[in-house]
Amino acid sequence: MTARIGVVTFPGTLDDQDALRAVRLAGAEPVSLWHRDKDLKQVDAVVLAGGFSYGDYLRAGAISRFSPVMETIIAQAKSGMPVLGICNGFQILTEAHLLPGAMLRNNHLHFICRDQKLRVENAETAWTADYDQGQEISVPLKNMDGRYVADERVLDELEAEGRVAFRYLDLNPNGSLRDIAGITNAEGNVVGLMPHPEHAVEPLVGTGGTDGLGFFTSIVKRLVAA
Active site residues: 87, 196, 198
Amino acid at 107: N
Q: How many CB atoms lie within 10 A of CB 8?
A: 28
For residues 114 and 88, give the distance between their C-alpha atoms in angstroms, rounded to a whole number. 17
Q: Residue 51's closest CA among 87, 83, 17?
A: 87
Residue 216: φ, ψ to 5°: -85, -35
Residue 210: φ, ψ to 5°: -125, 25
Crossing angle of helices 213-225 and 16-25, in 10° steps, is 60
Strand partners, 191: 84, 184
- Answer whether 33's CB lies under 8 Å from 45's CB: no
